[in-house]
Homo-oligomer: A and B are copies of this chain.
């Protein structure tokens, strides 16, 4: 008899969806002229399934990162300057939240530090801060102007 999964997974996702979102927006930023860019173009250039792109852009639009123009010769354009679009915004939009789970069952037992259970509590907090700092720091402009390394 197998137990059900405990709620133990670490919520630190960075999967294809997030990476594709960043890739696609970087592509969009590069071709961000007066004309809107159709998803089909991005799909071909980046090798990402059109259907998957549509899912992703639907979320990006809801978060006001891009706006869409319908009809023939329509497509997507950035809703802000590349420098204003942080990677944190992008990943957040597609549900790739970087968030570490501290305790095994924090909602049930709380994190009572009288046992040694939560010795790693601070650690995961710090890690979360550390990673989020990276994504807060970077924006789309950083990506397209390929200034390689920079401030750290």
Interfacial residues, chain A to chain B (CB-CB below 8 A): 8-10, 12, 14-16, 18-19, 22-23, 26-27, 30, 45-47, 87, 100, 104, 115-117, 119-120, 122-124, 126-127, 130-131, 134, 138, 143-144, 146, 148-149, 152
Q: How far is the CA of A150 from the CA of B64 in the complex (A)?
A: 37
Name the distance in Å between A10's Cβ and chain B's nearest Cβ.
5
9 residue pairs of the A-B complex, CB under 8 angstroms, read A9-B16, A10-B14, A26-B120, A30-B116, A30-B119, A46-B116, A47-B104, A119-B143, A120-B143
Interface pair A100/B14, CB less than 8 Å apart: yes
Residues of B within 8 A of A47 (CB): 104, 117
